[in-house]
Amino acid sequence: MQLQNCDAYTSSNGSNRQLALDPQQVSVIGSAFKEAWLQFAAAAPAGMDLFAEASMRQLIAVRIIRAATQAGEFDRNALITLALQGL
């Protein structure tokens, strides 16, 4: 069975709405996350503990997902820039 889209759910002002992402958009989001993490990890302070690393990975992922689903941003480089802004 091949999927035609990937459904994501988000909450906005207390109501749930369904967002459908096509495979290309999911691919862009995944690629942006991987590259943003590599860039952050290369510049991160040495000796970051596992808790801090997990927190930063989550922050980067949330920033990318929000930019894509709420602002409709699917430019890979823009997503990377938005994810790393201020870190």
pLDDT tens digits, 31-49: 999 999 999 999 988 888 9
58-86 pLDDT, tens per residue? 999 999 999 999 999 999 999 999 999 99
Q: What residues contact residue 26 under an 8 Å CB cut-off, 6+ apart?
A: 6
Per domain, the residue ranges of the chain are: 22-84
Q: Tell me how far apart the alpha carbons of residues 60 and 36 are, in angstroms, rounded to a whole number.
A: 7
pTM of the model: 0.76
Amino acid 16: pLDDT: 52
